């Protein structure tokens, strides 16, 4: 192998050229990633302190359910001989939806009626014969007992017809002709929501186009929520929010598997809605506080340092650190109780120019590491936000 040795002077020239190239490359990277001072330092914005109505809300999530539901169940024993409705049918209150064979019930009614007639006849005969007071009292007791049995038989006969207790839509028919019903359950069960579960032998009717939201409220917020408070309901499948009212708040918490306690709350949706669907999810915002003429500024304008709370007030193009007393936070805005007046301009945190021209907002005291890590000696260049 033949080695070519450069003259020492020429070697120095080559290494100098390489150094110049490296320095130029580093400078190019620095100019590429480091924003112009006017972009990084001067990208602050301002906002005016304003007076207006404010409200504070407590949020909960839940499920949309029908506002009214009736689980209709036979209150007598027997064999079902008619089912007169199907799922999807519309029914009116008092409409017969199913029946059981009433032959035995009619026989029991006839027997009770005959027993009452016989008891009345005995009482009348003993009164005519001048029977003792003790005998007449026994006769009267027998009449009362027979009359009670006849009333019960007639009530059972009436319950052989299962009727709708509310007007609405049939959503479940869990019964068929030939089924045996026990009559252990009440003849019908009506509720203000769809929380009860229907059992065997049940026909379920729900109110059409009227809904509630059954939600879970965090234990930390339950003390603030009361029945009658206004609420905004945001169903996931609705085009826009709808108004609502808190109907009830449970007094006893429910605890999930993780041990987290929450309180069931029912929010009634105002009006009728054809675009809401039972079983869909919804978010509820309960208005727990509503005030007029509240002075606020964007919350991001407020800073704290050494125990003091202040904003950067813009005066004649300069910023003046001004201490303020803050109050309630309303979403992105915070109440100012003292230190500012309506119309005062406050400075908001500035921006650091990111790659591709994207602006990244800096919060007070934030440290921004610029893309590329910088080119200065000693490692990455770190930029402190305003």
The pTM for the full model equals: 0.56
133-158 and 103-129 helices, crossing angle to 10° = 160
Q: How many CA atoms lie within 13 A of 152 on its CB side?
A: 11
- Other beta carbons within 10 angstroms of residue 37's beta carbon come to 8
Q: What is the DSSP string of 33-81?
A: HSPPHHHHTS--EEEE-EEEEEEEEEEEEEEEEES-EEEEE-SS-EEEE
Say how many Å lie between the first and final Cα of the chain, rounded: 63
Can you list the domains of the chain with their CATH numbers? Answer: 59-67+211-290 (2.40.30.170), 70-101+160-209 (2.40.50.100), 103-158 (1.10.287)
* Of 215, 251, 248, 217, the residue nearest 233 (C-alpha): 215
If phi > 0 it is left, if psi is from -120 to 50 it is alpha, else beta; for residue 356 that is: left
Q: What is the pLDDT along the chain (386 residues), one digit of tens a residue?
A: 444 444 444 444 444 444 444 444 444 444 344 444 444 445 679 999 999 999 888 889 999 999 899 999 998 888 999 999 999 999 999 999 999 998 888 999 999 999 999 999 999 999 999 999 999 999 999 999 999 999 998 988 888 889 999 999 999 999 999 999 887 555 444 555 444 333 347 899 998 888 999 999 888 888 889 999 999 999 887 778 899 999 999 999 888 888 888 999 999 999 888 888 888 899 999 998 889 999 999 999 999 998 999 999 999 989 999 999 999 888 899 999 999 999 999 999 864 444 444 444 444 333 332 333 333 333 333 323 33
Given a contact cutoff of 8 angstroms between Cβ atoms, the answer to whether 301 and 47 are in contact is yes
Alpha-carbon distance 69 to 48, whole Å? 51
Give the H/E segment covering residue 160: none
Q: Are 68 and 190 in contact (CB under 8 A)?
A: yes
- H-type alpha helices, the chain: 8-33, 37-40, 103-129, 133-158
């Amino acid at each position: 192998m033949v080695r070519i040795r450069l003259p020492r002077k020429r070697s120095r020239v080559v290494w100098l050229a390489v150094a110049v190239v490296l320095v130029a490359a580093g400078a190019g990277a620095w100019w590429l990633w480091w924003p112009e001072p006017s972009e990084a330092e001067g990208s602050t914005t301002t906002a005016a302190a304003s007076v207006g109505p404010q409200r504070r809300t407590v949020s909960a999530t839940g499920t949309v359910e029908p506002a009214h539901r009736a689980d209709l169940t036979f209150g007598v024993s027997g064999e079902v001989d008619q089912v007169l409705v199907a799922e999807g049918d519309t029914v009116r209150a008092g409409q017969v939806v199913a029946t059981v064979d009433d032959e035995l019930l009619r026989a029991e009614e006839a027997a009770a009626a005959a027993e009452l007639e016989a008891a009345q006849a005995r009482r009348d005969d003993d009164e005519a014969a001048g029977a003792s007071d003790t005998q007449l009292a026994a006769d009267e007791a027998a009449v009362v007992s027979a009359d009670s049995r006849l009333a019960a038989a007639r009530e059972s006969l009436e319950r052989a017809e299962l009727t709708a207790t509310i007007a609405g839509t049939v959503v479940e028919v869990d019964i068929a002709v030939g089924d045996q019903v026990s009559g252990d359950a009440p003849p019908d069960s009506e509720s203000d929501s769809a929380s009860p579960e229907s059992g065997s032998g049940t026909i379920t009717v729900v109110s059409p186009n009227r809904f509630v939201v059954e939600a879970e409220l965090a234990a930390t917020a339950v003390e603030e929520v009361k029945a009658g408070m206004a609420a905004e309901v945001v169903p996931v499948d609705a085009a826009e929010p709808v108004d609502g009212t808190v109907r009830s708040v449970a007094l006893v918490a429910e605890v999930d598997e993780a041990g987290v306690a929450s309180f069931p709350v029912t929010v009634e949706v105002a009006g009728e809605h054809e675009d809401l669907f039972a079983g869909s999810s919804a978010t509820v915002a309960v208005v727990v506080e509503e005030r007029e003429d509240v002075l606020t500024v964007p919350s991001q304008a407020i800073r704290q340092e050494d125990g003091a709370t202040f904003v950067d007030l813009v005066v004649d193009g300069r910023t003046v650190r001004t201490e303020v007393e803050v109050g309630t936070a309303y979403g992105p805005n915070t109440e100012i109780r003292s230190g500012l007046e309506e119309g005062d301009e406050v400075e908001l945190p500035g921006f650091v120019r990111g790659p591709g021209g994207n602006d990244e907002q800096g919060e007070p005291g934030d440290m921004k590491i610029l893309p590329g890590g910088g080119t200065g000696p000693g490692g990455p260049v770190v930029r402190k936000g305003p």
